Structure formats: structure tokens, C-alpha cells
Amino acid sequence: MIVLNQMDRSAEIAADKISGFLRQEVSIEIPFDLMAFTALNRGSTLITLDPRRVTITRSLLDLVNLVREKFEQVRVEDDTIAESPTKRTGLFGLLGGNS
């Protein structure tokens, strides 16, 4: 997963160039917004401080959802691996013994 933080439209290196170089799609771009620093310093949320800052807030919520989905996906894969029976190796495996 590639997340680009503090992306500015006038950045010299665009997201598509980064994606091409790394040969992986950029998952999320979080835009640069000075209001984020103000909110952090005041101990406030962006929405509370300035509801018009929807773009950065939406990007951050998208990131949270993406990370949650990845964790759920890994948990399902781990559960599937844990449920699959283990095969015996060696002589007992050849003779068909499973326990």
C-alpha cells in the first residue's frame, strides 16, 4: 500500500510517476493543508476547526477505511490458514497418517 502524504498539485514529482517507478498503484493521496498543523497544535479535529476542509478529512477517512479493510483481509487469511489441517511429512505422511 502506497500513501502519499502532503501532496501538492504543483509538486515536481506527480503520483503517477511515483506509481510507475515503484510499479505499484498509489492507494491514497492526502493533500497538503496548513490547517492540519493548526488543528494538531490546538488539539482539535479538522472538521471542528474548519468544516470546509472536507478534502483532507475525506482522504484521511479513506485511509482509515483502507487500513481497516487490509487488516480484516489479513485476519480472514490467518483464520483460513489456522483452520486448514496440517499434513504430516516423512514416513507417516507417505503412509497416510494425519494425526
How many whole angstroms separate alpha carbon 57 and alpha carbon 65? 12
Contact (Cβ atoms closer than 8 angstroms) between residue 84 and residue 98: no
For the cut 80, the answer to whether the pLDDT of residue 13 exceeds it is yes
Q: Is residue 93 part of a domain?
A: no
With a threshold of 0.75, does the pTM exceed it? no
For the cut 70, the answer to whether the pLDDT of residue 17 exceeds it is yes
HEC assignment per residue over 9-70: CCCCCCHHHHHHHHCCCEEEEEECCHHHHHHHHHCCCHHHHCCCCHHHHHHHHHHHHHHHHH
Q: Is residue 10 part of a domain?
A: yes
Total number of domains in the chain? 1
Mean pLDDT of the chain: 80
Q: Is residue 91 part of a domain?
A: no
Identify the pLDDT of residue 57. 84
The predicted model gives 24-41 an average pLDDT of 88
Q: Is residue 94 part of a domain?
A: no
